[in-house]
Amino acid sequence: MVATRQDLIKIAPLPPPTTRAPAAPHVPARLSQSAIGIGGRAPEDRDSYSMTALADITDRSLHAATARFTAGISPAAVAEAYLDWATHLAYAPGKRLQLMNKGIRKASRFGNYVARCMAEGGKTDACIEPLPQDHRFVGEAWQKWPFNFVYQGFLLQQQWWHNATTGVRGVSKRHEEMVEFASRQILDMVAPSNFPLTNPEILLRTIGSGGLNLAKGWQNFLEDAERAAAGKRPIGSEEFVVGRDVAITPGKVVYRNRLIELIQYAPATETVRPEPILIVPAWIMKYYILDLSPQNSLVKYLTEQGFTVFVISWKNPGPDDRDLGMEDYRTLGVMDALDAVNAIVPGRKVHAAGYCLGGTLLSIAAAAMARDGDERLATVTLFAAQTDFTEAGEIMLLIDESQIAFLEDMMWEQGFLDSRQMAGAFQMLNSNDLIWSRLVHDYLLGERQPMTDLMAWNADTTRMPYRMHSEYLRNLFLGNDLAEGRFTANGAPVALAEIRAPIFTVATERDHIAPWRSTYKINLQAETEVTFVLTTGGHNAGIVSEPGHRGRSFRSMSRPQGNYLDAERFYAEAARKDGSWWPEWAAWLKERSGEPTSPPAMGAAQSGYPSLGDAPGAYVFGE
């Protein structure tokens, strides 16, 4: 890569001009160096402009190249954590003695289990049970010799390593969690379920099919590798074409700027509630997760409930968008969209809803509006969105100064964070389900998992602009500025406590991106009426939870202004209800809306918001 002079100026600005000082009396060399170290470098010792730029470019380019082989993980951050753990463990003979004792006890326990199995013909209780979320060894074949010995020994070893990587005095909590996480990833990689000779289900399938499953799995692997190298989506995703199979709720694009398209959906009822709904999705995802197939489209459901619905469709950023920041997303995104909605549905307040990162942005925008006396919001709804990042889950293991600097160097070279780099980090947080189970199912058993609309949407990835993502990680995740009153909008700090519109928050029980106890903190931050809903499912599947979805349930509780209930009491006291949370939200919105009236026109050409084409628009197709 060749850097122009303009690029170098951005990377390493020239040092300020210096003036020549009067000649100083001669001093010994040692004293001179000491004085320079205390008072600053002498002019002749300052790095030149070209050397500063060269050093910066060299380091950033090396980090960016390294990131391609580490899935964006900083080797320095991992090494620092392991060094902290290993050093303190080396100076902890008591802990090592305890681990030795645990190892002997586990070996004795395992030997006793083997003896009982041999004496009782394998009909004996297991000596260790998998964790509730671990489904790798639940098949009947795993309970027979010799595979019961294999998986029981593995689980005992996994438990021992957990003991070894935790509870070492002096290791920082963050480093302990990182070492435990990394060690768990390594153990998951070498689990007996991942290899044909130690997985009875694979072995039986291979014998029964004469090895055809492995041949089919190899073919699946080659197909996936070819598609990944060519930047194509997974096999089966072609069955879910945007605008044909998914994102087909009728609507019009009524506004477009360099960052968003605003879609207004056609009414599905003769009358509608006078207050429209504006949905702000995260730009880390394509908006149509909320408008998938007709049977599980939240947008379609809302229109059928008598609401006028607007949705932001974000542009997929490229290198030219590298300097777009959080403030640009607030103004060009939320505020411009709100202006358009107010022009199309004049004189009415707006029900605003934000999903994931879009919910965080909406909370910032709502706080800024409250600060400035802007009362255009009727309600605020947050889907799996965090406003306090102190307990943001295992994703925090990938966010510290070393890691962010590494990511910034990776984004600096290309101008954005690539979707595959983001996907790799999220997959590691749930590697058993997203990586190793797929390896076993697709490549060793030779079976393709049927593609669904949600899986196809998940493969339709997006990018993150350099500046915005850096600000997001540093100011929100690392600094927690929003929760602590330091985050600024339009040059002034915002506080969630200033929001007076009622808040409806939805969290999911198995969310590994926005853990529900983290999203629950809105109850502590807001000083308005808050309704909190905790639904079954994960970050995406729990939100796409249409009525009739099998196995869905939720807990819900509202608190008046000023009354706080901690997360554990909420979980214990909120009654569980069967079914989807969608009707609960629709009823909540209706209670805070006016009487039905005639639907508004599609767009408002006289106010500068003409129809620009049919939904789903153009930005959703940005690759």
Q: Would residue 593 count as lying in a domain?
A: yes
Q: Are residues 156 and 281 in the same domain?
A: no
Q: Are residues 271 and 129 in the same domain?
A: no
Q: Would residue 457 count as lying in a domain?
A: no
Q: Are residues 255 and 188 in the same domain?
A: no
- Quote the pLDDT of residue 51: 72
What is the mean pLDDT of the segment spanning 164-168? 96
**pLDDT of 181 higher than 80:** yes
What is the mean pLDDT of the segment spanning 241-256? 97
- The CATH code of the domain that includes 616 is 3.40.50.1820
Closest CA to 543 of 331, 394, 383, 385: 383
Angstrom distances, CA of residue 568 to CA of 133, 516, 520, 572:
21, 11, 10, 6
pTM: 0.85
Average pLDDT over the chain reads 87
**How would you classify the pairing of strands 260-265 and 309-314?**
antiparallel
Among 192, 207, 242, identify where a domain stops: 192
Q: Would residue 458 count as lying in a domain?
A: no
Percent of the chain past pLDDT 70, that is, above it, reads 87
- Quote the pLDDT of residue 22: 38
Domain coverage including residue 498: 251-414+463-621
Among 155, 172, 192, identify where a domain stops: 192
Q: Are residues 383 and 296 in the same domain?
A: yes
Q: Are residues 508 and 371 in the same domain?
A: yes
Bin 465: left if φ > 0, else alpha if -120 < ψ < 50, else beta.
Answer: beta
Q: Would residue 389 count as lying in a domain?
A: yes
Q: Are residues 298 and 387 in the same domain?
A: yes
Q: Would residue 276 count as lying in a domain?
A: yes
- Quote the pLDDT of residue 7: 42
Among 171, 192, 213, identify where a domain stops: 192
Lowest-pLDDT range of 59-68, 167-176, 284-293? 59-68
Q: Are residues 280 and 409 in the same domain?
A: yes
Q: Are residues 469 and 600 in the same domain?
A: yes
- Quote the pLDDT of residue 90: 96
Number of domains in the chain: 2
| Residue 278 near residue 337 (C-beta atoms within 8 A) | yes
Residues 408-433: tens digit of each pLDDT: 777 776 677 766 666 666 666 667 77
Catalytic residue annotation: 356
Percent of the chain past pLDDT 90, that is, above it, reads 67
Q: Are residues 256 and 188 in the same domain?
A: no
Q: Would residue 134 count as lying in a domain?
A: yes
Q: Are residues 315 and 407 in the same domain?
A: yes
Q: Would residue 255 count as lying in a domain?
A: yes
Q: Are residues 168 and 259 in the same domain?
A: no
Residues 465-513: tens digit of each pLDDT: 989 989 999 999 999 999 999 999 999 999 999 999 999 999 999 998 8
Residues 6-38: tens digit of each pLDDT: 443 343 343 343 333 333 333 333 333 433 344
- Quote the pLDDT of residue 47: 63
Closest CA to 382 of 506, 536, 556: 506
Residue 122 confidence class, pLDDT cut points 50, 70, 90: low
What is the mean pLDDT of the segment spanning 334-339? 98
- Element spanning 506, H or E: strand 503-508
Q: Are residues 180 and 271 in the same domain?
A: no
Q: Would residue 11 count as lying in a domain?
A: no
Residue 251 confidence class, pLDDT cut points 50, 70, 90: very high
